[in-house]
Amino acid sequence: MTCRDALEILADYLNGNLPWKHRLSLNLHLSLCRHCRDYLANYKKAVQSSRDAFNDEALCEDLPEDLVQAILSLRKQLHQVE
């Protein structure tokens, strides 16, 4: 297995969706290739960082009052039509 092959299957590797033969080959490659081990560590950290980036209560704001009123008004109109 080359680095090209290894980096192509990282997502399936992390998901646990890799057939055992490929997993074995990738584990062997990772044990021998520091560059791919570093790449895998960075890849995992990039995924975690993207999750962390949006995991912030400060990003959750109330709806503006004028939008709330607009939604309630539109709902009232729809309710009357139906």
Partner 1 sequence: MDHIVVEDESSLVSSLRAGDAVAFERLVRDYGGRMLAVSKRLLSNHEDALEAVQDAFLSAFRSLHTFDGRSRFSTWLHRIVVNAALLKLRSRKRRPEQSIDDLLPKFLADGHQAAPAARWRNPGPENLEKNELQEIVRSKIETLPDSYRIVLVLRDIEELDTNTVAQMLEITPENVKVRLHRARQALRTLLDPVFGKPSK
The answer to whether the beta carbons of residues 36 and 30 sit under 8 Å apart is yes
Q: Mask of contacts with partner 1, 12-51, x by CB under 8 A? A: x----------------------xx-xx-xxx-xxx-xxx
Which residue number, 24 or 74, has a Cβ lying nearer to partner 1?
Answer: 74
CB of residue 41 to partner 1, shortest distance in Å: 7
Q: Which of 16, 20, 21, 56 binds partner 1 (CB under 8 A)?
A: 56
C-alpha–C-alpha distance, residues 29 and 22, integer Å: 10
Residue given tokens 């729809």 in the structure block: 78
If you compute the radius of gyration of the chain from its CA atoms, what whole number of angstroms results?
24
